[in-house]
Structure 1
Amino acid sequence: MTDPNADPAADFIESTRSSYDTIAPAYSAEHPDGLGEGPVEAGLLTAFAELVRTAAAGEAQVADIGSGPGYVTARLNALGLRVFGIDLSPHMVALAREAHPQLRFEVGSMTSLDVPAETLGGVIALYSTIHIPDADLPGVFAEFHRVLRPGGYVLLAFQASEGEHIHMTERYGLDIALDYYFRTPAEIATYLTEAGLSLYAQALVEPQGQQKWGRAFALAHKPTGSA
């Protein structure tokens, strides 16, 4: 059930964490590999991996932010990256560790990453920044800029819509309080640029089948010489 007119939760981090803890088993069962039918996502992952390997000479790690059940982390690992996952939900992290015991998953928030500055060759956040309110998104992208090494890359995926906010109170028959903020590619490009990241490429997949929203992708990098 959704309420498009509802105000965001007072503490969006806690409500997002609690909601995903609640739906983690059902979500993971439905999405054992959410990229299985996404050839554009798969292609962009391959391109991202190649760019990161080239820029970092294979040395730097990559963080999968909002890693959920861990399938993106596993895909990047299979592409030869040294990758680990970070997710807000402890229950999601537990399920990811169970599904992919050879990989590292940590509980954490993209609003304040427990990662030293300029240590990552890449940051990827697929359909996870959609839960961040507009007022907090600049801080998130500033965090991405902080943890990236100069020359490092960030890849984002998000539902594309202009100024749409949805408050969801039920999913899989379970009570939740989850906010979704959909933005246009131009808006995301502006946020990235203002955070000191340079846009490298964008893509937009129009709604397919029963999908209501298109899927957008933004690939950016931290310029060399950037602090």
Structure 2
Amino acid sequence: MAESSPYLAATADAYDALADVYADFVRDSLDRLPLDRSMVAAFAELVRADGARPVVEAGCGPGYMTAHLRDLGLDAFGVDLSPRLIDIARRDYPDLRFEVGSMGALDVADGELGGLLSWYSLIHTPPTELPPYFAEFRRVLAPGGYLLLGFFESEGGPVSRFDHKVTPAYRWPIDELADLASKEEFVEVARMLREPLEDERFRRGHLLMRRDRTAAMG
């Protein structure tokens, strides 16, 4: 997909400016999120059972989730728009591969991956620009490959913009996000909605999907 949208540069600049603060904030965030971890663990187990092809974390930030995927037995690497966050990821996890790039134009061959994790990385994408990302995810995933999305859920309302602490972001109805993915040959496997913790503002959504094998064969 074309990568000329101005929000991409704005997002990269915003995360570069707050990279150290953001990395410190999220580094141990999974420790208190057993439900979120359970979805990631299921994703990892399914990818391993399906042949253990490589997995990308698209929008990896400082790399803590990529490292978690590695700890779950996956051959994982990370891609992010922010050069500063990639520097931190390479420093903190020198045994892993991290690249500066966009999840909308991944440097990956067609059908190469067994899984793709987008963990709160689609949230900054304006709604009208989101569909091409799912097309790119379909391109890089092997038939039957798994996609796991983590995002802020709109709690029964429409897609809504909010003032994220780094740069503006969007909350999505889980059904609408699943429908967008289904237009690119993704079939829902599971979903989980988690109510916000005391220090969180919004409900969290998690969608586990699989690239349809039948569509690829047709």
| TM-score in same-fold range (> 0.5) | yes
Q: Identity over the aligned pairs, expressed in percent?
A: 39
After superposition, the Cα gap between the structure-2 partners of 1:167 and 1:30, relative to the gap in structure 1 and judged at 3 Å, is closer
RMSD of equivalent CA atoms: 1.3
Aligned AA (2:215): S
Question: Aligned pair 1:26/2:21, yes or no?
Answer: yes
Shift of the alpha carbon at 1:210?
A: 3.2
- 2:123 is aligned to 130
The count of aligned residue pairs is: 209
| Partner Cα separation in structure 2 for residue 191 and residue 89 of structure 1 | 26
Structure 2: unaligned runs, 5 residues or longer: none
Equivalent residue runs for 1:3-82 within 5 Å? 11-55=6-50, 57-58=51-52, 60-82=53-75
Question: Aligned pair 1:165/2:158, yes or no?
Answer: no
| Partner Cα separation in structure 2 for residue 110 and residue 130 of structure 1 | 12
CA contact 1:66–1:88 (8 Å) conserved in 2: yes
| Partner Cα separation in structure 2 for residue 225 and residue 211 of structure 1 | 40
- 2:199 is aligned to 210
Tell me the SS of whatever aligns to 1:86: strand
| Partner Cα separation in structure 2 for residue 26 and residue 145 of structure 1 | 33
Shift of the alpha carbon at 1:35?
A: 1.0
Question: Aligned pair 1:223/2:212, yes or no?
Answer: yes
Cα shift readout 1:97-147 (whole Å, capped 9, x = no counterpart):
000000000011112111111000000011110011111110001100110
Q: TM-score, normalised by structure 1?
A: 0.88
Aligned AA (1:181): Y
Equivalent residue runs for 1:91-110 within 5 Å? 91-110=84-103
Shift of the alpha carbon at 1:36?
A: 1.5
Shift of the alpha carbon at 1:78?
A: 0.8
Cα shift readout 1:9-43 (whole Å, capped 9, x = no counterpart):
x7100000100111101111122222121111111
Q: TM-score, normalised by structure 2?
A: 0.92
- 1:3 is aligned to none
Cα shift readout 1:170-209 (whole Å, capped 9, x = no counterpart):
x5xxxx6x22011011111111111211111111001221
CA contact 1:196–1:222 (8 Å) conserved in 2: yes
Shift of the alpha carbon at 1:223?
A: 1.4
- 2:149 is aligned to 156
- 1:4 is aligned to none
Structure 1: unaligned runs, 5 residues or longer: 1-9
**Higher strand fraction (1 or 2):** 1
| Partner Cα separation in structure 2 for residue 166 and residue 133 of structure 1 | 12
CA contact 1:86–1:109 (8 Å) conserved in 2: yes
| Partner Cα separation in structure 2 for residue 62 and residue 201 of structure 1 | 19
Aligned AA (2:40): L
Shift of the alpha carbon at 1:226?
A: 3.4
**Greater mean deviation of Cα atoms: 146-155 or 216-225:** 216-225
| Partner Cα separation in structure 1 for residue 16 and residue 33 of structure 2 | 25
- 1:5 is aligned to none
CA contact 1:34–1:71 (8 Å) conserved in 2: no
